Structure 1
Amino acid sequence: MSHPCPGNRVAEQTPRLEIRNLCRSYEGRRVVDDVSLAVRPGHVTCLLGPSGCGKSTTLRMIAGVEMQDSGEIHVDGKLICDTRTRVPPELRNIGLMFQDFALFPHLSVFENVGFGLNGDRAARARRIREMLDRVGLGQFENAFPHELSGGEQQRVALARALAPRPRIMLMDEPFSGLDNRLRDGIRDETLDILREEDAAVLLVTHEPNEAMRMADEIALMRGGKIVQRGAPYNVYNSPVDRDAVSFFSDINVIRGTVHGALTDTPFGRFLAPGVPDGQAVDIVIRPQHIKIDFDRGGRGPNPTSIDGSPALGVVQRSRFMGSESLIEFRMEHDGSTLRATVPNVFLPQPGLKLWLMIRRDRCFVFPARDGRAAG
């Protein structure tokens, strides 16, 4: 019986890519601020955030096309770049995929995939055809990029990036130029190939759905910083603040004031542990977690420990969204607006009174941004 070597266990724990405390400023403005993360072989980490948050700049520093002001970049435990040491981009064994694919229009598909490959002609040809077969384009090796669809061009770009067997793959919004109908299938195919190649993947996107679909870990960026990291399920269901909730979905916000670690609202009391008395809080709930019930002669459903107390709302408008309906309510207690989504087709007429309840286990309570008590 063979036993695993302790050294192998250590090697398995070493991240393929690790960045430590990266910083970058432009004209006195810090665009990447103390960013650290690690990516293991065969895993996909997604830098997710709005435009201008610093995620693409982070990618360019890892690729070596831009220099950090401070911080370190390590590959397989070895330092490749700090403010004194710098391995050139072409020696980092890092693959790149960008939004525009960057294919050479005057080269055939075969020549595009082979660009940058070393070795003798026969070995290069074998690797090119292996990668074209892998992405399902073996029959197009003599075609030119303009003769291909957007999805086919994306797969050529993937084959070219993977042909040199990079240890790390950096992807900057690589699917944003694709038709929505093609995007999901091509993302799934790409993910399968990347994992087969055992590359460590760092994907940049501003689309939460893409991050949720592809990533093993999401690093949520805002204002040059990583504000939250974790598995997609945890980032979605345990958000660090109100902005983290709203980045992934529409939200409703109910304002309240804390007294004795409790907040009174028309929907009942909410726990607010650790929040001082008199502090205003925002109770945040997603539209899909609001329950709707019919009015029964001025009475709604009975309060429960899970759903709290019902509050009466008047339908302002309702819209069919395909797999669900979106209903907007004006709440009778204060005139505020709440939005609810329900599965299938439910389109109540404007003016109809309905009772709303909100799931306690699906609400998030955060200190209000302005700190003022509710009026």
Structure 2
Amino acid sequence: MTAAVRLEIQSLSCQFGGRDVVSGLSLQVAAGQVMCLLGPSGCGKSTSLRMIAGVERPSAGRIVIDGQTVFGAGINQPPEARGVGLMFQDFALFPHLTVAGNVGFGLQGGRLDKQRRVDELLEKVNLSGFQAKQPHQLSGGEAQRVALARALAPRPRVMLMDEPFSGLDNRLRDGIRDTTLEVLKAEGAAVLLVTHEPDEAMRMADEIALMRGGRLVQRGAPYNIYNKPTDRAAAAFFSDINVISGTSRGALTQTPFGAFLTPGYADGAKVDIVIRPQHLKIDFDRAGRGPNPTQTEGTAARGVVQRARYLGRESLVEFRMELDGSVLTASVPGVFLPKLGTPLWLMIRRDRCHVFAAS
């Protein structure tokens, strides 16, 4: 059964000083779904969140929460009337209130009902027994979980989160993100999370909306948006990439790795063939056999090691290709640090390559 749409944004736009900061943004978020607005700093992510929250007035568009228009057609409901929870980079706990006082702030109802709700949420975020603590007694991770509990206490229909984990130590971040995700799913709110970190989006989101220059570039499940990027910049946003440039002739482009099919490109069109470092293979068995083509990996090409760096889980090896002088990087699991100047044969996973018009 498909979950009901909790948040719907239709052609949302915002201008500052005549400049489009957000332009024509449209998306839907269902109850219990985590949607991630992902993109570089300044692309309009946080402005989009502020418009949905009601603290920034859109220039155009419509915002609908649980089927009710909160902005558009002469309607502009104030933030407190929208049923939206907010969580930002700065946890902004009230320093004069205890943890219980922070979580229960703004809750309606009797004292016992509020206490039950506070206790329930603190248990969910693994902070049972912290009710009487003061904010200055909390670690960064604990303060983040208190802020999450406070935002969820009134049972918001929509939860808006703007880079909520950016201030946390890297060692704590993964565990706290997992706890946060578990609690958000259990509460059933529609979650819109803003981040500029692809790893965070891939880890947390059911669906990713990639923004650039105030516009929605691509939207989809993490697997699809990673493996089927809409353009070269989208591919590069998620990881390092290698780019093999060429010219399409007769729907083929010649490269050091043989001819690539490039259908749909006119003769003379410049194309970029994009492949991630983990899909560039070093062929240790090819010595003496030369560049014999295979169906999956095409023709082998030889490169000379320019640099090798060990990064813990993998090694990055940079090659200068003998045929055209281009530089490509391969990611190799474990420790592999060949000497500079070593010639090695390389193969590429053709099924992992993406072809785009040259940028």
TM range (shorter): over 0.9
Name the SS for the 1:139 alignment partner.
Answer: coil
Could you tell me how far 1:300 is from its partner in structure 2? 3.3
Question: In structure 1, what is the equivalent of residue 322 of structure 2?
Answer: 332
Q: 1:114 aligns with which of 104, 119, 125?
A: 104
Amino acid at match of 1:192: E
Q: Deviations over 1:117-157 (max 9, x none)?
A: 11122211111111111111121111111111111000000
Cα distance in 1 for partners of 2:350, 2:65 equals 44
Q: Deviations over 1:252-292 (max 9, x none)?
A: 10011111111111101111111111101000000000010
Question: In structure 2, what is the equivalent of residue 272 of structure 1?
Answer: 262
Are 2:49 and 1:70 equivalent residues in the alignment? no
Cα distance in 2 for partners of 1:188, 1:300 equals 48
CA gap 1:268/1:89 in 2 versus in 1, 3 angstroms: same
Amino acid at match of 1:56: S
Could you tell me how far 1:296 is from its partner in structure 2? 6.2
Q: 2:92 aligns with which of 97, 102, 113?
A: 102
Q: Is the 8 A contact 2:4 2:31 kept in 1?
A: no
Q: Deviations over 1:335-365 (max 9, x none)?
A: 2111000111111111100011111100000
Cα distance in 2 for partners of 1:159, 1:176 equals 18
Q: 2:297 aligns with which of 303, 307, 310?
A: 307
Question: In structure 1, what is the equivalent of residue 352 of structure 2?
Answer: 362
Q: Is the 8 A contact 2:162 2:194 kept in 1?
A: yes
Question: What is the RMSD of the two structures over their aligned residues, measured on CA atoms?
Answer: 1.3
102-111 or 238-247: bigger deviation: 102-111
Amino acid at match of 2:135: P
Are 2:153 and 1:163 equivalent residues in the alignment? yes
Cα distance in 1 for partners of 2:22, 2:8 equals 16
Question: In structure 2, what is the equivalent of residue 350 of structure 1?
Answer: 340
Could you tell me how far 1:295 is from its partner in structure 2? 8.0
Are 2:30 and 1:40 equivalent residues in the alignment? yes
Question: In structure 2, what is the equivalent of residue 178 of structure 1?
Answer: 168
Instruction: Specify every segment of 5 or more residues in structure 2 that has no aligned partner in the other structure, as ranges.
Output: none
Cα distance in 2 for partners of 1:163, 1:119 equals 12
Q: 2:208 aligns with which of 215, 218, 241?
A: 218
Among all aligned residue pairs of Structure 1 and Structure 2, give the percentage whose two residues are the same amino acid. Answer: 68
Q: Deviations over 1:44-88 (max 9, x none)?
A: 000000000001000000000111000000011111111510111
The TM-score with structure 1 as length reference comes to 0.93
Question: In structure 1, what is the equivalent of residue 220 of structure 2?
Answer: 230
The TM-score with structure 2 as length reference comes to 0.98
Q: Is the 8 A contact 2:91 2:144 kept in 1?
A: yes
Question: In structure 2, what is the equivalent of residue 142 of structure 1?
Answer: 132
Amino acid at match of 1:130: E
What is the aligned length? 359
Question: In structure 1, what is the equivalent of residue 120 of structure 2?
Answer: 130
Could you tell me how far 1:302 is from its partner in structure 2? 2.5
Q: Deviations over 1:183-205 (max 9, x none)?
A: 11110111011111111100000
Name the SS for the 1:16 alignment partner.
Answer: strand
Q: Is the 8 A contact 2:100 2:132 kept in 1?
A: yes
